[in-house]
């Protein structure tokens, strides 16, 4: 019975970490990365879809993102969406292909991105702690309702803490990797 609570908690924590990793992936680190475009949507036959569902995205060079729309009519729509986004990159096109030149990051911008990374990491950790708190509350309620013994409660709380520590360590590792990536020139 307590194992189900722990499994559910672990699944929720993993989702928080996955979301955190996805957010970090869309952060510009001075090199071309197709994930930069994941948050940008375009109107494609009446639906808002990510650019990747309306065009082929490739990385021909380390600092160039190439977007090849599936239909010529999408060129201007994709360009406008990129210009309206918070990417800060101006697209250039030759009539068939859109190119995004990813500029080198300044030292100041790198430090800002590291701060942003730490902020996102803290938000993820808060989410993990809230999930842990909810799981512990469920265990305590089960003990109060006499559904489990005090030993079972202690054991479950220890398992919950171990899972929480493991997930928090994973967040720290991902953060350190991203910081290293951002600060490398």
pLDDT tens, residue order, the chain (185 aa): 788 988 999 999 999 999 988 888 767 666 677 777 777 888 878 888 888 888 888 888 877 888 888 888 888 888 888 888 777 778 888 888 888 887 777 788 788 888 889 999 999 999 999 999 999 999 999 988 888 888 998 999 999 999 999 999 999 999 998 888 877 75
CATH number for the region 2-25+106-183 comes to 1.10.132.20
- The angle formed by the CA atoms of residues 37, 43 and 49, to the nearest 5 degrees, is 50
**Range list for CATH 3.30.1360.40 in the chain:** 34-101
Record: fold of 34-101? Gyrase A; domain 2 (3.30.1360)
Q: 155 exposed, middle or buried (CB, 10 Å; 0-12, 13-18, 19+)?
A: middle
The torsion angle over the Cα atoms of residues 88, 179, 57 and 101, rounded to 10 degrees, is: 40
Per the rule left: phi > 0, alpha: psi between -120 and 50, beta: everything else, 20 is alpha
Assigned token pair, 149: 């013994």
Sequence ranges of the chain with CATH classification 1.10.132.20: 2-25+106-183
């Amino acid at each position: 019975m307590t194992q189900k609570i722990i499994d559910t908690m672990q699944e929720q924590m993993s989702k928080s970490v996955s979301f955190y990793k996805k957010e970090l992936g869309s952060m510009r680190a001075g090199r071309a990365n197709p994930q930069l475009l994941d948050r940008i949507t375009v109107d494609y036959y009446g639906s808002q879809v990510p650019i990747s569902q309306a065009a082929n995205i490739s990385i021909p060079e380390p600092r160039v993102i190439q977007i090849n729309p599936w239909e010529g009519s999408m060129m201007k729509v994709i360009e406008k969406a990129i210009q309206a986004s918070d990417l800060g990159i101006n697209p250039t096109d030759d009539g068939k292909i859109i190119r995004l030149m990813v500029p080198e990051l300044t030292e100041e911008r790198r430090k800002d991105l590291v701060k942003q990374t730490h902020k996102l990491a803290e938000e993820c950790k808060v989410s993990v702690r809230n999930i842990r708190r909810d799981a512990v509350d469920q265990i305590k309620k089960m003990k109060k309702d006499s559904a489990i013994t005090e030993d079972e409660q202690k054991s479950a709380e220890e398992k919950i803490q171990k899972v929480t520590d493991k997930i928090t360590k994973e967040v720290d590792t991902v953060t350190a990797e991203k910081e290293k990536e951002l600060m490398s020139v």
